[in-house]
């Protein structure tokens, strides 16, 4: 805690924050314009999103480029390293709360809103006057609400692809940990092997997830429109899939950086940050497997 009396690195000026603000703005402005356009109207939304998204990629590339350069130049002392660690930890905490909102919605829907519509507890009158044939069951029997929004559907059986994906992610958490130990022990070949395996496992998770989505849409008629079951299913697994995608890209970047020899035994915050993120994504999946697929 402030024990180091050498100098805490404060960059003198940087163009990246303002670039980041502009490209983030372009992305969401384009998205808003696109969503708001009347059907058939030729808006400029998609063009602006594309420019913004390319800009976001370029910004990440440039910003990380300068950070890596500074890191390799030895400008970050242990105190700076601690700031980065705290930043990553609290960022992951904010992500936990983001998923918390959607899990909270799922629990509320399953514990209150669907049973109430089916006449349990305090919903007696709603049930009697509006939806008297609705049972308030979850899953294929009533998860799409009293008006069966989206039509009849079947749920994804948990013991097929989802179980496989669970095993894949659990294995990948083990491989990334082996790679971390190898990094601390200085075994370069072993790091590259196990980190590479982690990237492949992440990619295969995404492949199976995509396959599962296609099956759900084509054969099970389970879509984003399948009432609140479809809403919670696709929003939770979709946001998780997005995080796995980001995590896999991050792992791949770290693999390249290991290849370039950017990390040392005791100076490898970038590696650890990505490993933390990967474990976080893994834990979210375990909750999903339990609450979305099994229960």
Partner 1 sequence: MAHEATHDQHDDHHHAPQGFFQRWVMSTNHKDIGTLYLIFSLTMFFIGGSFAMVIRAELFKPGLQLVQPYFFNEMTTMHALVMIFGAIMPAFVGLGNWMIPMMVGAPDMALPRMNNLSFWILPFAFALLLSTLFLPGGSQAGGWTMYPPLSLQSSSLAYTVFAIHLMGISSIMGAINIIATILNMRAPGMDLLKMPVFVWSWLITAFLLIAVMPVLAGAVTMLLTDKYFGTSFFNPHGGGDPVLYQHVFWFFGHPEVYIMILPAFGIISEVIPTFSRKPIFGYKAMVFAIASIAFLSFIVWAHHMFAVGLPMGAEIFFMYATMLIAVPTGVKVFNWVATMWGGSLSFETPMLFAIAFVILFTIGGFSGLMLALVPADFQYHDTYFVVAHFHYVLVTGAAFAIMSATYYWMPKWTGHMYNEFWGKVHFWCSVVFVNVLFFPQHFLGLAGMPRRIPDYNVAFADFNMISSIGGFLFGASQLIFLGVIVHCAFFSKKKATDRVWEGARGLEWTLSSPPPHHSFTVPPVVHDEELAHGHVND
Residue for token digits 């770290």? 254
Round to whole Å and give the CA distance between 118 and 121. 9
Tally Cβ neighbours within 10 Å of residue 289.
18
* Candidate segments 69-77, 158-166, 183-191, 272-280, binder of partner 1 by CB under 8 A: 69-77
Question: Footprint of partner 1 on residues 140-169 (CB under 8 A)?
Answer: 142-147, 149-150
Q: Residue 150 in contact with residue 144, Cβ under 8 Å?
A: yes
Residue for token digits 């496992």? 201
Question: Footprint of partner 1 on residues 109-138 (CB under 8 A)?
Answer: 109, 112-114, 116-117, 121-122, 126
Round to whole Å and give the CA distance between 212 and 214. 5
Would you count residue 246 as binding partner 1 (CB under 8 A)? no
Nearest to 22 by CA among 43, 44, 51: 51
Cβ-based nearer residue to partner 1, 165 or 231 = 231
Question: Footprint of partner 1 on residues 251-280 (CB under 8 A)?
Answer: none
Which residue of 10, 39, 42, 261 would you call a contact of partner 1, by CB under 8 A? 10
Cβ-based nearer residue to partner 1, 1 or 42 = 1
* Candidate segments 106-114, 176-184, 194-202, 277-285, binder of partner 1 by CB under 8 A: 106-114
Q: Is 14 left (phi over 0), alpha (psi -120 to 50) or beta?
A: beta
Round to whole Å and give the CA distance between 269 and 71. 10
Cβ-based nearer residue to partner 1, 145 or 202 = 145
Would you count residue 60 as binding partner 1 (CB under 8 A)? no
What are the structure tokens assigned to 174, written together? Answer: 């083990």
* Candidate segments 84-92, 196-204, 257-265, 268-276, binder of partner 1 by CB under 8 A: 84-92
What are the structure tokens assigned to 242, written together? Answer: 């997005």
Would you count residue 16 as binding partner 1 (CB under 8 A)? yes
Cβ-based nearer residue to partner 1, 42 or 101 = 101
* Candidate segments 21-29, 212-220, 251-259, 269-277, binder of partner 1 by CB under 8 A: 21-29
Beta carbons within 8 Å of 101's beta carbon, 6+ residues apart: none
Round to whole Å and give the CA distance between 108 and 195. 39
Round to whole Å and give the CA distance between 196 and 182. 13
Would you count residue 206 as binding partner 1 (CB under 8 A)? no
- The H or E element containing residue 9 is none
* Candidate segments 83-91, 190-198, 264-272, 278-286, binder of partner 1 by CB under 8 A: 83-91
Which residue of 94, 133, 159, 219 would you call a contact of partner 1, by CB under 8 A? 94
């Amino acid at each position: 805690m402030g024990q180091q009396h050498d100098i805490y690195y404060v960059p003198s000026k940087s163009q990246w924050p303002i670039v980041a603000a502009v490209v983030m703005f372009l992305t969401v402005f384009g998205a808003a314009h696109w969503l708001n356009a009347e059907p058939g109207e030729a808006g400029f939304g998609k063009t602006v999103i594309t420019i913004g998204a390319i800009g976001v990629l370029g910004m990440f590339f440039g910003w990380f480029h300068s950070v890596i350069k500074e890191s390799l130049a030895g400008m970050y002392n242990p105190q700076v390293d601690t700031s980065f660690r705290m930043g990553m930890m609290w960022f992951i905490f904010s992500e936990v709360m983001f998923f918390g909102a959607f899990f909270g919605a799922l629990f509320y829907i399953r514990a209150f809103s669907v049973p109430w519509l089916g006449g349990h507890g305090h919903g007696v009158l709603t049930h009697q006057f509006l939806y008297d044939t609705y049972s308030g069951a979850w899953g294929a029997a009533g998860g799409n609400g009293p008006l069966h929004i989206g039509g009849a559907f079947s749920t994804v059986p948990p013991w097929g692809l989802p179980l496989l994906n669970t095993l894949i992610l659990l294995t990948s958490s083990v491989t990334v940990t082996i790679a971390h130990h190898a990094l601390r022990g200085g075994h370069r070949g072993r790091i590259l092997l196990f980190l590479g395996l982690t990237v492949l496992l992440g990619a295969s998770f995404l492949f199976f997830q995509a396959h599962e989505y296609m099956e759900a849409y084509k054969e099970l008629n389970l879509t984003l429109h399948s009432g609140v079951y479809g809403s919670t299913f696709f929003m939770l697994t979709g946001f998780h899939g997005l995080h796995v995608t980001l995590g896999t890209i991050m792992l791949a970047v770290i693999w390249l950086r290991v290849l370039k020899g950017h990390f040392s035994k005791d100076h490898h915050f970038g590696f650890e940050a990505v490993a933390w993120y990967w474990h976080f994504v893994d834990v979210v999946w375990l909750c999903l497997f339990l609450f979305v697929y099994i229960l």
